[in-house]
Structure 1
């Protein structure tokens, strides 16, 4: 399923309309984190990319659909078989998509201030674009494909994240030396405590790679790219 619209370049629907199209637009949020600032950040929700440097980073957020039609595992647009909750982050599923899903929320903070010396907000336009070639920010989107063993995932959902044991309320040995608040302890579950899951070290997982389908430069840290990948 897809959250957001990779082809969007502007906002079309009035906020609060409540239609699935409007909720899909509202699922995309931005915040220009500015320090020092009395507010701590400048919310840019619904306005695309900001126009100033973001000293604390450009924070991009996306809410994923949390309702399913109960029939189709996919749809031609990879979206229509799912839908948003009435309140986006909460509420009810529409009658057309009555099956609730686990709610996914993506958040990435881009270190744009690293390039602050290379442009002047007073005279220059916002210089950053997404890899889609989008200079507006509205194409920000997220894709979710389930790669889990479905039996293991369903058992973990049904039996783990339990507030009565470590799966939903506990501390692993790696966290035992941290000073945590009561709220943090309540929210901290131990994945390793779920008997339906086997947790591998990151070093093991990083060895699992596939051969790239397209061979082209994608990393501009060593030297600037001549063009966007793709």
Structure 2
């Protein structure tokens, strides 16, 4: 996968600017057991790391973008919500847990706090076909998920194209891509990426499994140009991707305490590996702002010439209610994952 290396190098002026899509940061909005897509109206079974707009709550229906009044994203017109499970360190000796913090990716706007890197790409990073094959922005009320916490085998995990990990040497040097958690301490943290499918059935804003209304034609690298959409899912939409940097460095010295040498990280839903990585998306762009961006070319870092940006000092003031009221930070090696 070339996404991070290419994007970061371009931002640092090491190569010519890439094209065809948006890349921007969203600071962390909240960390709590809430999942209005899979478990609406109730406390979620496990903890989630959430970024984006302040319309986020336990039950979300309709036009999220019209209800948002602030967002933790650099793109000021993006009130969407993006979330994944939370990573924990499981102490190899006493079995207790500690939440792993998130740190900002490279080449994001100054002041981005934790959070995620968000992509909306039309095709890939090296060509611009937008006039040959139009991209339709998501409609209000749209939502989807990728992956599943019940994924338990290597074969199943491999089938989730674009749900991968990297063991970071630095924020620029990601190293090899892998299906499971790294098996050795990572000098700069664990990098998790979640690619969503880009073909829509053109009718349903959601589906019972939150995935069937979408179709993935990519079979290899999540940042490559996806093959044509099938007749069952004929509408090409933006390729949405999340990147999260989990700062595991404070736990690196503790790996040696494990008698069996196993890696010590688990997702908040526990599991025996990283196979169950998954993510949720709730569309919430204001008006036609995303469509305007997808109609542009040469727009990877500049907001596609039409999207209003905000300073991250403003974005970082955006908050939401703590619906569950759990203490997720005030302990060390004594908190079970929620």
So what's the TM-score if we normalise by structure 2? 0.49
Unaligned runs of 5+ in 2: 1-143
Q: CA deviation at 1:104?
A: 1.4
More contact order relative to length (CA 8 Å, sep ≥ 6): 2
> What is aligned with 1:205?
315
Comparing 78-87 with 3-12, greater Cα deviation is found at 3-12
- Are 1:96 and 2:256 an aligned pair? no
Contact 1:86-1:93 within 8 A present in 2 as well: no
Contact 1:219-1:225 within 8 A present in 2 as well: no
> What is aligned with 2:104?
none
Contact 1:86-1:92 within 8 A present in 2 as well: no
Tell me the matched-pair count: 188
1:67-216 to 2 correspondences below 5 Å: 67-87=199-219, 88=222, 89=224, 90-120=226-256, 123-158=260-295, 161-163=296-298, 168=299, 187-190=300-303, 193-194=305-306, 197-216=307-326
> What is aligned with 2:3?
none
Instruction: Evaluate the alpha carbon distance shift between residue 216 and residue 26 of structure 1 in structure 2; reply closer, same or farther with a 3 A threshold.
Output: same
More strand by share: 2
For 1:41 and 1:208, the matched residues in 2 are separated by: 31
> What is aligned with 1:28?
163
For 2:153 and 2:286, the matched residues in 1 are separated by: 38
Comparing 147-156 with 63-72, greater Cα deviation is found at 147-156
Counterpart secondary structure, 2:166: strand
Q: Which of 49, 53, 66 lines up with 2:181 in the alignment?
A: 49
More helix by share: 1
For 2:157 and 2:273, the matched residues in 1 are separated by: 18
For 2:293 and 2:182, the matched residues in 1 are separated by: 40
For 1:41 and 1:200, the matched residues in 2 are separated by: 29
Instruction: Evaluate the alpha carbon distance shift between residue 155 and residue 119 of structure 1 in structure 2; reply closer, same or farther with a 3 A threshold.
Output: closer
Q: CA deviation at 1:65?
A: 0.9
Regions of 4+ moved over 6 Å: none
Q: Which of 126, 146, 149 lines up with 1:3 in the alignment?
A: 146
Q: Which of 217, 227, 230 lines up with 2:327 in the alignment?
A: 217
Instruction: Evaluate the alpha carbon distance shift between residue 96 and residue 138 of structure 1 in structure 2; reply closer, same or farther with a 3 A threshold.
Output: same
Q: Over the residues paired in the alignment, what is the CA RMSD in angstroms? A: 2.7
Contact 1:217-1:225 within 8 A present in 2 as well: no
> What is aligned with 1:226?
335
Q: CA deviation at 1:136?
A: 0.2
Q: CA deviation at 1:69?
A: 0.4
Unaligned runs of 5+ in 1: 16-21, 169-186
The structure whose Rg is larger is 1
Q: CA deviation at 1:26?
A: 2.5
Contact 2:238-2:294 within 8 A present in 1 as well: no
Deviations 1:94-152 (A, max 9, x none): 22111111111222232323212222167432111111212300111121110112333
> What is aligned with 2:195?
63
